[in-house]
Chain A
Amino acid sequence: MSALEPTIQTAEKRAGWAWRPFALTLPALVLLAAVIGYPLLTIVLRSLSEPEWGVQNYAWFFGAPVNLAVLQRTFTISAWVALVCVVCAYPYAYLMTAVGPRVRLVLVLCVLIPFWVSGVVRTLSWVILLQDSGVINSLLRSAGFAGIRLIRTQTGVVIGMAQVLLPFMILPLYSVMKGIDLRLVQAARSLGARPSRAFFTVYLPLSLPGVYAGAIIVFILALGFYITPALLGGPRSTMLSTLVQTQVLSLLQWGRGGAMGVVLLVTTFLLLALAAPVMRSRHREAGRR
């Protein structure tokens, strides 16, 4: 930390130059306003103005049990996906920091290569693996076990989505873990901490910002998933995006589709706002230690 302080001070001294970074972000801000801000505004407006001005679309959304059930399911599935990603990505990202450059390159490639393959292709491969007559079930049966239903279940959807989203968890985790000074763990060990204690009180708290960052990215991306739940899931794992698609593309109810999008967005913000204090306090605590 102390190495950073002089820079901060000089920046503060030259307060007149402070607007410069903002000026540099102007192109990005304009782009964001054009490709996110404007369409978003249109969606909000249409949700309130079609077919006539009022909140009828929102009344419809909250009046139909199927919408609420699917909204809740969308959040549940996304939370599971984030959890599975954390569990799978954490040891992997740690391994990436622990090995030499050559093995690390292999590990990075293992993460990135599936990332470059289209999500549809990966999802279809999961169909082949998970289906009742698929690879996993035939292996189970030939080993004398009963087959298990994986495809068209929420489990199947979570597995498929977690695999597609795993890179978004591993990369932020790795970038945080890379910055953790392993001498801190050594110091803890030299002061008599058992390995597990050193991990839980020193390493884990320092890596939490990466866990939070990755989990939030995965969770938010998962909320909008369409193809994977459609192909791997059944009716009981339909997510909100599918319902939006029906309203917009099939019924031409753009107002309703817009209202569903707005509800999802607002609910997501609310959840993140609730989670933020928890994350911040842990973070500070970790910094203090």
Chain B
Amino acid sequence: MLKSKLAGLGAVLALGMLTTTAFAQEKPVAGEVKEGSLKGKTLTFVSYGGIYQDGQVAALKEFVEKSGVKLLNDGPTEIAKLQAQVESGNVTWDVVDTGDLPPYVHCGKLFQKLDLSKLDVSKIPEGQVGECSVPAMNYGVVLMYNKEKYKDNPPKNWADFFDTEKFPGVRALDGSGDPTGGLLEQAFKVAGGDPKAMTAADIDKALDVIRKLGPDTIYWKTGAESQQLAESGEADMLMMWTGRAMTAVKNGAKYAPAWQDWLVVMDQMTIPVGVKDTDAAYALLNAYLGKQAQEILTQQTSYTPINNDAKPKVDESVAAFLTNTPERQKQGYKQNIKFWVENFPVAQEKWSALMAGN
């Protein structure tokens, strides 16, 4: 009697497990990799090199070992190179890490529209999955100020950043390439406009606010340069990537962040149009989105994970600059992606004129 009951229970359990596996086959779970599923296949992963790509590769180590895939690395990501590959019909980049906007600007042309039934996006922070992209990691652009210079009256937000009368001192802005939409929106707000109702003509008004910062303004070209500007005290207020801000503070820069309206930015993971094995690329993405992979990524790079369950073990200095705490999420400012995608060429043209001294 007992025996048959146990057997029955076992049968139920087995049945349950069977259905779960069947379910898993239909619906992928982030981070799960099927043993030996990609044996003999090769995938080329493209990102920006340095500790960031090293961290990504470390995050994908389990995927490589379990699936048996051969993972090649290339970089840095250049959209022009990808365009050349797509145009010539010889796409060798299977999964590409890009900046914030390109997957939206070139969706369907250079980047595949993602089939979300092949990915588990349930743990990704809200509003970050694009038609052609899932996030690769989160970070922020944050206002950093010199604690010794501003002492008891520190700047609190971007309005203070643009106010050189109340807060004299040298400013440093991101001049590494593309304009930062969120910053232009903040500048437009200072000019008295409403970022929600911004038009292409308003970009000039925003740029004028930046021009008014004066000839001493520094436009840093690389993240390393921004860090150096803080560590040497060359600039009194900087817009900085959180990763670089964290490292500068760790290295002894007496700077502190003003978190109000920090600009939410991210890297994106994409699959180019015309890759040879789309399913293998999806498998890589799905593994990358997993909890454990994201924990490894954060531990190695200090960037914020994009899996809500991830609990990376990091020290205090790194934790201070992670952007996924409830408090930070409340303070963050999201740019109007749709506007910047539509007006990308105009904004870029005007921004590069400013960068060229005009």
- B215, B219, B228, B348: the one contacting A250 at CB < 8 Å is B348
Instruction: Verify if A271 is at the interface (C-beta below 8 Å from B).
Output: no
Pick out which of these stretches binds chain B: A127-135, A174-182, A260-268: A127-135
10 sample A-B contacts, Cβ–Cβ < 8 Å, listed by A number: A65-B358, A66-B352, A66-B356, A231-B221, A236-B215, A238-B355, A238-B356, A249-B78, A250-B352, A252-B79
Tell whether B89 is near chain A: CB-to-CB under 8 Å: no
By the criterion CB–CB under 8 Å, are B356 and A70 in contact?
yes
CB distance from B101 to the nearest CB of A (A): 10
Tell me the minimal C-beta distance from A45 to chain B in angstroms: 15
Residues in B with CB closer than 8 Å to A84 are none
User: Across the interface, which residues of B come within 8 angstroms of A66, CB to CB?
Assistant: 352-353, 356, 358
3 shortest interchain CB distances as A-B pairs: A235-B357, A236-B357, A66-B358
Collect the chain A residues with CB atoms within 8 Å of residue B342's CB.
none
Does B354 have its Cβ within 8 Å of any Cβ on chain A? yes
Q: Which residues of A213-269 have CB atoms within 8 Å of chain B's CB atoms? A: 230-231, 234-238, 242-243, 246, 248-252, 254
The B270-284 residues at the A interface (CB cut-off 8 A) are none
Q: Is A254 touching B80 in the complex (CB atoms < 8 A)?
A: yes
Q: Which residues of A contact B (CB under 8 A)?
A: 64-66, 69-70, 127, 131-134, 152, 230-231, 234-238, 242-243, 246, 248-252, 254
Is B233 an interface residue when CB atoms closer than 8 A count as contact? Answer: yes
Bound form: Cα–Cα A231–B219 in Å: 10
Q: Does B157 contact A (CB under 8 A)?
A: no
Q: Distance (Å) between the CB of A251 and the closest chain B CB?
A: 5
B177–A243 CB distance below 8 A: no
| Given pairs A236-B357, A251-B349, A252-B80, 7 additional interface contacts (CB within 8 A) | A66-B352, A131-B232, A133-B234, A237-B357, A243-B356, A250-B177, A254-B80
Question: Within 8 Å of chain A (Cβ to Cβ): is B225?
Answer: yes
Tell me whether B218 is interfacial, beta carbon within 8 Å: yes
C-alpha spacing A195/B150, complex, angstroms? 62
B194: Cβ under 8 A from any A Cβ: no
Shortest CB distance A259–B (Å): 15
B355 touching A235, Cβ below 8 Å = yes
* Chain A nearest CB, measured from B80 CB (Å): 5
Given contacts A133-B232, A248-B80, whether A242 and B356 have CB atoms under 8 Å apart is yes
* B301 contacts partner chain A, Cβ-Cβ < 8 Å: no
- From A69, A127, A134, give the contact of B356 (CB < 8 A): A69
Q: B211: shortest Cβ distance to chain A, in Å?
A: 10
Shortest CB-to-CB span from A188 to chain B, Å, is 50
Which residues of B from 324 to 358 have beta carbons under 8 Å from A?
345, 348-349, 352-358
A250–B352 Cα gap in the complex (Å)?
A: 10
Contacts of A250 in B (CB 8 A): 79, 177-178, 348, 352
Chain B residues with Cβ under 8 A from A246's Cβ? 177, 348, 352, 355
Q: Which of A133, A152, A234 contacts B233 (CB 8 A)?
A: A133
Question: CA of A230 to CA of B356 in the docked complex: distance in angstroms?
Answer: 11
Contacts of B219 in A (CB 8 A): 234-235
- Taking CB atoms, residues of chain A closer than 8 Å to B218 are 152, 234
Complex Cα distance A65/B349, Å? 12
**A243, B345: Cα distance in complex, Å:** 14
Q: Known A133-B233, A251-B349; judge A238-B357 contact (CB<8 A).
A: yes
- Quick one: CB contact mask for B54-80 with A, threshold 8 Å, 1 for yes? 000000000000000000000000111
* A282 vs chain B, min Cβ distance (A): 36
